[in-house]
Amino acid sequence: MDVGRVQEVASSLLFSGTLPSEFVRPETEQPGITTVKGQVLAVPVIDFTNPDDDSVLTAIHDASLNWGMFQIINHQIPNEVITHLQAVGKEFFELRPEEKEIYAKPSASKSVEGYGTKLEKEIDGKRGWVDHLFHIIWPPSSINYNFWPQNPPSYRVANEEYRKNLHGVVEKLFRSLSLGLGLEGHELKERVGGDELVYLLKINYYPPCPRPDLALGVPAHTDMSAVTILVPNEVQGLQAFRDGHWYDVNYIPNALVIHIGDQIEILSNGKYKSVFHRTTVNKEKTRISWPVFLEPPPEFEVGPHPKLVDEENPAKYKTKKYSEYAYCKLNKIPQ
C-alpha cells in the first residue's frame, strides 16, 4: 500500500468532524474561500445527434478554443451501458479493503495502473481526498487484465461494453478537432498514436469528507492526455477556472464531459487550450467519476503539428516522447 487509503481515513472520521492536517489545503486553494458561490458555469453543451455536421464541428472547435471543455449530449452511448459501468465501479470500491488491495499498484511500477491513492508528487505533503483505480481498456495489446477487478463478476463485461460504444465518440471528436484546425480529418489522431491511441480508464472515488470547505479531491491541474472523456455520478464536484475564478460546472445527467488535454494543446500549437480544473468533495455523499484519458503510446513523440507552424507561428512547445512528458508532469518538473 502506498499511503493510507482515503476511504479508510473517511470511515475513521465519520463522527469526528475534524480533518487531518495533510488534507487541509492552503487558503489560496480552499474551495470554501475560492469558489464563486451561487453561480454554476454553463460550459458549452453539444448535441451529437444534430444533423448539421458543420454546426457540431464549429461548436467543438469554438469550445476547444475558448473553454478547453464541453459536454456532449445524445452521444448515442446507451444509458444502460453507462449505468452498468458506474454500478460495477461503485461495487468495487465498496469491497473489503483486502479485496481491493489485490489490485494495488506495485510500488516499483513505472505505470499508473492499479488501485491506489497517491498519483503525483505532493506539494508540502498535502493530499487529495480521493482513491483511484487505473487500467487500460484499449488497445488490446496494451491491456493488463491483472488490474481489472474480478469482483464484481460483471466488471469486465461492463468495461468492454463501454469501450466498444466509446469508439464512435472518439472518432467524431478527433475528426472535428482536426478539421477545425484546417487539417484533414485523420491527421490529429494520427499524431497522437492513430490506431495505437491508448484509452486509460480511471475511477476516482471521493468519500464523504467532514470539511469539504477545506479539502480538494484532486487539486487544480490540466490533463496530460490528448483528450479526456469523463462520466461523473450525480454528486457535484467538478470545477473549472474561468476569468480568474473557480466555478462549479453544471451537471447534466448522462452527458459526457470532454476535457482538452495537454497533448492536443501542444499539437495545435496553442490554438486549443487544455482546461484548468479541480475536484471538490461533499460532506454527506460519495462522488465517483470515470474519466477515460486518450493518450499517445509511451514512446510516441508529440509536438506541434508541422502544418500549424510557420515563420509567423513558430513552435511554442517542445517535441518529446509522451512517457517523458508524463514523468515531468507527475513529478512537477518543468517540461
pLDDT, tens digit, 9 for 90 and up, residues 299-324: 999 999 999 999 999 999 999 999 99
Q: Other CB atoms closer than 10 Å to residue 125's CB: what's the count?
A: 7
Rounded to two decimals, the pTM is 0.96
Q: What is the mean pLDDT of residues 68-88?
A: 97
Q: Which of 100, 105, 172, 223 is catalytic?
A: 223
Is residue 202 annotated as part of the catalytic site, yes or no? yes
Q: Which of 135, 189, 277, 305 is catalytic?
A: 277
The mean pLDDT of the chain is 95
pLDDT by residue (tens digit) across 116-174? 998 766 777 899 999 999 999 999 999 999 999 999 999 999 999 999 999 999 999 99
Question: Is residue 280 within 8 Å of 31, Cβ to Cβ?
Answer: yes
More confident residue, 246 or 109: 246
Is residue 61 annotated as part of the catalytic site, yes or no? no
At 240 the pLDDT is 98
Is residue 277 annotated as part of the catalytic site, yes or no? yes
Is residue 167 annotated as part of the catalytic site, yes or no? no
Q: Which of 90, 126, 221, 320 is catalytic?
A: 221
Torsion of CA 125, 127, 132, 136, to 10 degrees: -50
At 1 the pLDDT is 41
pLDDT by residue (tens digit) across 71-80? 999 999 999 9
pLDDT by residue (tens digit) across 8-31? 999 988 777 789 999 999 999 999
Q: What is the mean pLDDT of residues 252-275?
A: 97
pLDDT at 219 over 70: yes
Alpha-carbon distance 259 to 247, whole Å?
16
Alpha-carbon distance 288 to 89, whole Å?
9
Alpha-carbon distance 20 to 80, whole Å?
39
Whole-angstrom CA distances from 14 to 6, 96, 129, 208, 226 are 12, 17, 14, 8, 38
Calculate the CA 224 to chain-centre distance: 9
Expressed in percent and rounded to 5, the helix, strand and coil fractions of the chain are 30, 25, 45
Q: Which of 75, 105, 172, 202 is catalytic?
A: 202
